[in-house]
Amino acid sequence: MSAHVAPGAPVPDVFDPRQYGQGVPHDRYRHLRDHHPVAWQEEPEVLGWPAGPGFWAVTRHEDVVRVLKDSATYSSYLGATQIRDPDPADLPFIRRMMLNQDPPHHRRLRVLVSRAFTPKRVDRFAEVVRERARSLLTGAVAEARSGDGTCDLVARVTDDYALLNLTDLLGVPDTDRALLLHWTRRVIGYQDPDEAGTPSLGPDGAPVDPRSPSSLRDMFDYAHALAAHKRRHPADDVLTALATDPELTAPELEMFFFLLVVAGNDTVRSAAPGGLHLLAENPEAYGRLRDGEAGFMGAVDELLRRHPPVLTFRRTAREDTLLADTRIRAGDKVVVFHASANHDERVFPTPFTLNLTRTPNPHVSFGDGPHVCLGAHFARLQLRVLYEEACHVLPASLEPAGSPGRLVSNFINGLKSLPVRVGGAW
Ligand code: HEM
């Protein structure tokens, strides 16, 4: 946790992505919830990225839910959904993505993807997902046993697990899987030099936004080539369903592909090690899960509450409005903080306790309102199976073997490494 914040202190900064490399700034969030529930944040230049106009940080659960549900006032379309303002020239392009639309237009795209993404299709992957979890975890344990008893669960298990499950569901051939990892690292990890490498610079010397059309051309070309292949060789996967849907236009298909690749990979890639880390840190909870005293479904949600993969989403006020007695002007950026809402004492008793049987558990890790996560069923399935197999395959004693490596990002709560020590009886 971050350093303690004194009650009368100025409004703490929760924007700077570098602090998230050290951990989620829960003390700062708490101070904001208690004293400035809708707090103005400066957006200075950071890591070579230009300064922005600033935004409102919304940290209480009640207000976060309100913003997410009220899409008439808090728009996903006007300025899209990331804190950083897109280049105005790129905005029309970015707005083609369903994530960056408002009802009623959003509805049409949502219905189209939902048709390709049915729970029935997702459930058909359960056995493949289980087999993958088992073999990755078994490999990690073998490595730990043949060495010093430790292994990195991100490198050995969770990165591959998230990526391969997604590529199976989408129908991306094995040979092209590395491409997907490359794209999501570029788009999501752009604030972290370890992930994205050195950013390419535009003619003005500023880094090129990884979400601009020019940066995404290779991914879109690939989506088209794959869609053409699926039309010739249909299979039981999401890309075939999208490619053969007569109502879907070619630009819509490109955008879906982009959205599913980034939304479906990095989130599970964060949730899976985040959950395992919490279990390693909480041996009592891990024991109760292994003994069957706590159910896996509830555990998935509690682990997601404590480690939400998404840290922020942005909206733009369509009109002047009031939120928690704070006047917000039309055009202001309004950013919700999921990890803060999930630890709001007003809603969750003892929010920092990992209580795998917590009920109710109205966490907002999957968002709320019209954009609530479309992949939640697939994500929950993957996480449940991973924890079930972890309880079978990993030994009784699972301990952190050092601090996890954290992603430098104010968007994704990513873990880049998770060293653990595995030992004891099975
Ligand atoms: C634990 C894993 C996941 C978490 C925590 C998560 C979180 C979220 C959140 C918070 C949103 C709402 C965005 C907003 O408010 O603007 C969202 C939307 C979305 N998610 Fe997920 N997600 C996860 C996994 C997935 C997976 C596996 C997929 C697909 C394969 C997926 C696909 C989507 C899509 C398509 C949307 C956009 C929905 C819309 O705009 O209507 N997500 N997700």
The CATH number linked to 241 is 1.10.630.10
pLDDT tens, 167-211? 999 999 988 888 887 887 777 665 666 665 555 555 556 555 566
Q: Which helix (H) or strand (E) holds 56?
A: strand 55-58
Least Cα distance to 261 among 167, 362, 344 occurs for 167
User: Which residue do the tokens 């630890």 mark?
Assistant: 343
H runs (alpha helix) in 312-375: 338-341
User: Which residue do the tokens 């020239």 mark?
Assistant: 89
Probe target for ligand 1 pocket from 238, 267, 334, 382, with the most ligand atoms within 8 Å of CB = 267
What is the number of structural domains in the chain?
1
Residue 80 to residue 86: CA distance in whole angstroms: 8
Does some domain include residue 174? yes
- pLDDT for the residue numbered 1: 42
- pLDDT for the residue numbered 184: 75
List CB contacts of 134: < 8 A, sequence separation 6 or more. 389, 392, 393
**Which tokens go with 92?**
């029309």
State which residues form the domain around 46.
17-423
Probe target for ligand 1 pocket from 83, 122, 374, 377, with the most ligand atoms within 8 Å of CB = 374
In the chain, pLDDT over 90 holds for what percent of residues?
76
Cis peptide before 104 (omega within 30 of 0): yes
pTM of the model: 0.94
344 pLDDT tier (thresholds 50, 70, 90): very high
Residue 16 to residue 41: CA distance in whole angstroms: 10
What DSSP letter does each residue of 74-124 carry, written as one string?
EESSSS-SSSSPPPTTTHHHHTTSGGG--TTHHHHHHHHHHHHS-HHHHHT
For 64, how many CA atoms within 13 A lie in the half-sphere containing its CB?
30
Does some domain include residue 10? no
Between 208 and 380, whose confidence is greater? 380
Q: Give the Å distance between the CA of 70 and the centre of ligand 1.
A: 18
- pLDDT for the residue numbered 218: 84
Q: Which helix (H) or strand (E) holds 322?
A: strand 321-323
Report, in this order, helix, strand and coil percent for the chain, each rounded to 5.
50, 10, 40
217 pLDDT tier (thresholds 50, 70, 90): confident
Q: What mean pLDDT, rounded, does the chain reach? A: 91
- pLDDT for the residue numbered 3: 47
Contact 370, 71 (CB under 8 A): yes
If phi > 0 it is left, if psi is from -120 to 50 it is alpha, else beta; for residue 367 that is left
Least confident of 27-36, 39-48, 177-186, 281-290: 177-186
Cis peptide before 360 (omega within 30 of 0): yes
- pLDDT for the residue numbered 193: 64
- Ligand 1 pocket check for 82: Cβ under 6 Å: no
- pLDDT for the residue numbered 191: 63
pLDDT tens, 111-161? 999 988 899 999 999 999 999 999 999 999 999 999 999 999 999 999 999
In the chain, pLDDT over 70 holds for what percent of residues?
91
- pLDDT for the residue numbered 2: 43
Q: Which helix (H) or strand (E) holds 135?
A: helix 126-146
Chain center to CA of 370: 17
- Ligand 1 pocket check for 259: Cβ under 6 Å: yes
83 pLDDT tier (thresholds 50, 70, 90): very high
Average pLDDT score over residue span 74-88: 96
- pLDDT for the residue numbered 279: 98
Q: Give the Å distance between the CA of 163 and the centre of ligand 1.
A: 15
Q: Give the Å distance between the CA of 60 and the centre of ligand 1.
A: 21
Does some domain include residue 228? yes
Nearest-CA residue for ligand 1 atom 40 is 99
Does some domain include residue 8? no
List CB contacts of 254: < 8 A, sequence separation 6 or more. 219, 220, 223, 224
Does some domain include residue 313? yes
Residue 356 to residue 279: CA distance in whole angstroms: 10
Residue 44 to residue 331: CA distance in whole angstroms: 19
List CB contacts of 251: < 8 A, sequence separation 6 or more. 96
